[in-house]
Amino acid sequence: MKTITFQKFIISISILLTSMTTWAQLDLVNIESHNKGVLLPRMSTADRTNINASEGMVIFNIDTQLFNYHDGTSWKELIGTGGPYGSEGPQGDPGQDVLGPNGESGFNGLKCWDKNGDEIFTPDEDTDGNGDFNVHDCIVLIGPKGETGSDGPQGSPSFEMGPDGPVSAQVFSKQVPNNSTSCLEFDEDQLNGRSDVILLHQSRQQGGFTAIPESTLTYQDDKWNVCAKSGNLQIFSFYDILILGNL
């Protein structure tokens, strides 16, 4: 087989074109053969990088066994469009289910009739007395009902009736005996020991011309007292306690 360079191939094509002017239709290249083919340049991917390629150049890549063309920027593989999908093949044989090996046995659970958990069954653990040790021995047997006990003595009443409270609207009055008194003690039977009453106190003065210091109503030593907030109570002043009611 003869091998020609690519330059000689181009020259031969040019000469052939000039002798084909008698054809009815003039093509750029028109090669006819029934037993020959056209062999484009073959090279590896590494050799391809050494070409000063231009857009449209075509080679056969011997590394990928595919035609390559240059798009003006980089080499691309020339791959034809895919053909139509073939018909679906027959269904394969279904696989067989294979059971895996059995797992290890679990730990023995606690037996409710094994009271001390020693796995040794003793007569006292045979609750129903049938000679078998099973779940029926877990039932707690209920003994017979005991006799009813006798009634105890009746208890004393929980509360005793207290004394009657003071009468509402009753007024108690005290006068300041001297100018060194800071509190007036209301020693009255209706008030002694009664911290549960609602009281109101007021002050008044004989003649009405001397100022009366502020006072407050307090409960101490089981008695009600009117005491000055500061200093002493004013001499010749009267202090009244009015019972409004009980709590």
| Angle at the Cα of 103 from the Cα atoms of 100 and 108, rounded to 5 degrees | 160
Beta pairing, strands 197-205 & 237-246: antiparallel
For residue 114, tell me if it sits in a domain: yes
CB 119 within 8 A of CB 130: no
Beta pairing, strands 58-61 & 42-43: parallel
For residue 182, tell me if it sits in a domain: yes
Tens digits of pLDDT across the chain (247 residues): 455 555 555 555 555 555 544 444 556 677 888 898 888 899 999 999 999 999 989 999 999 999 999 999 999 998 876 678 889 989 888 878 888 888 887 666 667 767 777 777 787 777 777 877 777 767 554 567 778 888 878 766 666 766 665 666 788 888 888 888 888 888 888 888 888 777 777 777 766 555 567 888 888 888 889 898 888 888 878 888 887 777 5
For residue 101, tell me if it sits in a domain: no
Of 121, 139, 157, the last residue of a domain is 139
Looking at the fold, whether 236 and 185 belong to one and the same domain comes out as yes
For residue 14, tell me if it sits in a domain: yes
| Angle at the Cα of 213 from the Cα atoms of 209 and 217, rounded to 5 degrees | 125
Domain extent, residue 125, equals 110-139
For residue 238, tell me if it sits in a domain: yes
Q: Would you call 138 helix, strand, or coil by DSSP?
A: helix
Q: Look at residue 134 in the predicted model and tell me its pLDDT.
A: 75
Q: How many domains does the chain have?
A: 3
For residue 159, tell me if it sits in a domain: no
